[in-house]
Structure 1
Amino acid sequence: MLLKMHLPPLDVAVYPIVTMAHGRYGGPVRPASSSPNSPDFSNIQKLIRNIFRSSRLSVQQVERLQGRLHQVYFLRMTDGSALVLKCPPQLNTRLLRHEQRGLETEAKVLELIKPYTQVPVPQCVKHDPQGGSLGSPYIILSHIPGTRLSDVAPYLSASERTVVDHALGAYIRSITSLAAPSFGMMHRVSAGTGSTSWREAFVSLLESALRDAEDMLVTMPYNSIRYHILRHGPMLDQVTEARLVPINAGQPENVLLDEGTRQVYGLLGFSDVVWGDPLMAGVFMDASEAFYQGYGEYPVRERNARVRQLIYAVYRAVVAVVTHYYRPRFASEELDARRSLTWALNQLSQV
């Protein structure tokens, strides 16, 4: 079922939710950071008391969690519940153009998904773009306990993985059933300045990533990339309705499983989302038969859809390569991204 969203309900106010998930965090415990733009315990405590307007509900412990971009904190409350606080990256972190509004995007996306679908995503408890007592933008999310699929995937039986993939397909279908009147990044569509065509919106996204690469003098086949996207651009015009596309949701590191049942318990990773073609989501690349059964259709069997999927593979590879230059992690990540880029361009050249 396709659920048509009428904007701007994307800018509705967010009110505190006092029911929060219980459970333990399975990751490593880290002390709260003391860097200049990191919140300290007293400010976090004051923030929570102001949100819930209660002196009895307070923060008992703060743990810094591993985050690839944003500063993420696990807050254990005195009543036994838990929250997750997400703040902007460190001041010395260089962001790509599409990453500038990650916190805002995540808050708005969760506000859409939660009431209109049955997808197990965190509840956005509070979003403050001004920062209040913290002095910088933040979002507070309910905590979903569980184990990341990326950590346990090698230990799942074939039947357990089939159940997981089927559930992911169904959840992604629910998310991509949400539609908007225009294409593009979340903040643009929310402001009524989205694009009228998917081709225009996608090319803008790709050019932003290529300009990020050019700013860092990254060696990349720019001419080849632009040539193939221009040549196959008309394929993008066949996407006539803007759907909610979670580019990274559904990836193994963003899927939480129940430790006992090994079933999908939560989905994360909604800071990079656009209104466009569902096939742009990375989870579709090399998806299993069980995933498509859960999704309810097999769109990549169509030639046009396969070409669009290759175009999106180029975009994701470009972003991965550029991200490595902005925030280096492992050399293997850049090599893998460059292999993916070369493969996708070669495939497009044969179409």
Structure 2
Amino acid sequence: MSQGRRGGHAVNASIASTPLAAMSTPSTPDFSAIQKVVRNVFRSSQIKVQQVERLQGRLHQVYLIRLVDGTSLVMKCPPTYNTRLLRCEKHALETQLKTLETLREYTQLSVPQVIKFDHNNGHLGSPFLLMSHLPGRRLSELLDHITSSQRRSIDRALGHAVKSLTALSATQYGLTHRVFSKKGYHSWRDAFLSLLESVLRDAEDMVVTMPYESIRYFVGQHSDYLNEVKEPRLVALDVCDPQNVLVDPQNMHITGLVGFSNVIWGDPLMTDGIFNGSAAFFEGFGEYPARDRGTHARMLLYEIYRATVQIVAHHYRSHLNTDELVARRSLSDALRELAEL
């Protein structure tokens, strides 16, 4: 999510002493603070920030920083203080840091390079992740302008990218920050049930109307199928979301992938591309999911999880424009199908 649609908030160096907060939102750090951060990161007082632009992010505060020498950087900061987070979202910056470092080291994928991660920066007063800026525009902005042939080409490239992602393995299952600190799970069943239970508790905290008993019962009844997963693989849950795919608007080729804050280690079937992939996607991926009972059951379990997260996130942050009715319908359908399996 290091790229975003222009949010309309930009400040030039000519007004460097003016807080950005005065021009946009109370949560926006001022220009001078960002200037100090950049100079501190690069250990040079000669570096000058020309412009800071607020980008549109789903959860985090994201800024495009343009330097006088033409370099562009992306800074990702925590959500505003009044943003309520789901339990699985509380380590999103750390997740993106660890994931990007892993991808840069072990794959050839075009992803942002981490320049600096600071847990508690004195200038901004909050953690931040500073990254390189990738060229291109979000695929979501160009969907109305691409041909079916171009979309198939993009889907094939995404399939190839997901193959590279899911080829990476770990020694434990679960949320990325826990796996990297050796506090993950030794079975995918335990990890997945913990993920689902955490979002159900988020729902209970907000008194969201949900079929809690049915979810827990039917998932529990079929959870043994999760034991078919024998090795933790990297699962980037939103990697194929059109908002996280950058393309060259001239030739419609993928220029990079962003948005790695929602990553776990588990079953590749949970990746959104595999879950909703087109025929072209699977051409690039190289294989189709098996059509056995266990695979089908796991896919239904993951649909239940996805739908539950969408419903709960809608109640936490209704401004995301999540279609709650669609998510509830998906949840009901998956529960019914699982009950009949």
Q: Which TM-score applies when normalising by structure 2?
A: 0.92
Q: Does 1:307 align with 2:286?
A: no
Q: CA deviation at 1:30?
A: 1.7
Matched letter for residue 9 of structure 2 = R
Gaps of 5+ in 2: 11-19
Q: Which residue of 2 aligns with 1:10?
A: none
Say if 1:215 and 1:25 are closer, same or farther in 2 by CA, change over 3 A.
closer
* Residue number in structure 2 paired with 1:246: 236
Greater displacement, 146-155 / 219-228: 146-155
Is the Cα–Cα contact under 8 Å of residues 21 and 27 in structure 2 kept in the other structure? no
Tell me if structure 2 keeps the 8 A contact 1:33–1:64: no
Distance apart, 1:191 and its partner CA: 1.2
Contact conserved, 2:314 with 2:322, CA < 8 A, in 1? no
State the SS of the aligned residue for 1:259: coil
Alignment partner, residue 69 of structure 1: 59
Query: Quick one: structure 1 residues 172 and 269, their matched pair in 2 at CA, closer, same or farther if it must change by over 3 Å?
Result: same
**In the TM superposition, what is the alpha-carbon distance from 1:26 to its structure 2 partner?**
6.2
Give the letter aligned to residue 94 of structure 2.
Answer: E
- Tell me which residue corresponds to 2:121: 131
- Counterpart position of 2:92: 102
Matched residue count:
328
Other structure's SS at 1:201 match: helix
- Post-superposition Cα deviations, 1:300-351, rounded to whole Å, max 9, x if no partner, equal 4333222211111110110110011111126662112112111211221221
Q: Which residue of 2 is the match for residue 222 of structure 1?
A: 212
Cα separation, 1, equivalents of 2:311 and 2:114: 31
Residue 65 of structure 2: SS of its match in structure 1? strand
CA distance in 1, matches of 2:48, 2:321: 42
**Aligned counterpart for 1:343 among listed residues 318, 333, 337:** 333
Q: Secondary structure in 1 aligned to 2:9?
A: coil
Unaligned runs of 5+ in 1: 1-23
Q: What's the secondary structure of 2:276's corresponding residue? A: coil
Matching of residue 54 in structure 1 with residue 44 in structure 2: yes
Amino acid at match of 1:323: A
> Residue 128 of structure 1: CA displacement?
1.0
Q: Deviations over 1:125-148 (max 9, x none)?
A: 111112242221100111112121
Query: Closer, same or farther in 2 for the Cα pair 1:234/1:340, shift >3 Å?
Result: same
Which of residues 129, 133, 147 is equivalent to 1:143? Answer: 133
Partner Cα distance (2:58, 2:104) in 1: 24
2:234/2:266 contact within 8 Å kept: yes
Deviations 1:286-311 (A, max 9, x none): 21111111111112433322221111
- Alignment of structure 1 residues 197-216 onto 2, 5 Å: 197-216=187-206
- Candidates 274, 278, 290, aligned match of 2:268: 278
Contact 1:25/1:145 (<8 A) preserved: no
Distance in 2 between the 1:239 and 1:345 partners?
Answer: 21
* Range with greater deviation from structure 2 (52-61 or 181-190): 52-61
Which residue of 1 is the match for residue 172 of structure 2? 182
CA distance in 1, matches of 2:67, 2:290: 46
8 Å contact from structure 1 (residues 104, 129) kept in 2: no
Q: Shift in Å at residue 150 of structure 1?
A: 1.6
Q: Residues 331 and 118 of structure 1: is their aligned pair in 2 closer, same or farther, counting only changes over 3 Å?
A: closer
| Residue 56 of structure 1, CA deviation | 2.3
Q: Which is further off, 149-158 or 57-66?
A: 149-158
- In structure 1, the residue matched to 2:29 is 39
Cα RMSD, aligned residues only: 1.7
Q: CA deviation at 1:266?
A: 1.1
Identity of aligned residues (%): 51
> Which amino acid in the other structure matches residue 49 of structure 2?
V
TM-score (normalizing by structure 1):
0.89
Per the alignment, do residues 175 and 332 of structure 1 end up closer, same or farther by CA in structure 2, a change over 3 Å counting? closer
SS of the residue corresponding to residue 84 of structure 1 reads strand
Is residue 248–residue 269 contact of structure 1 (8 Å, CA) maintained in 2?
yes
SS in 1 for 2:116: strand
Kept in 2, the 8 Å contact 1:167–1:291? The answer is yes
Match of 1:14 in 2: none
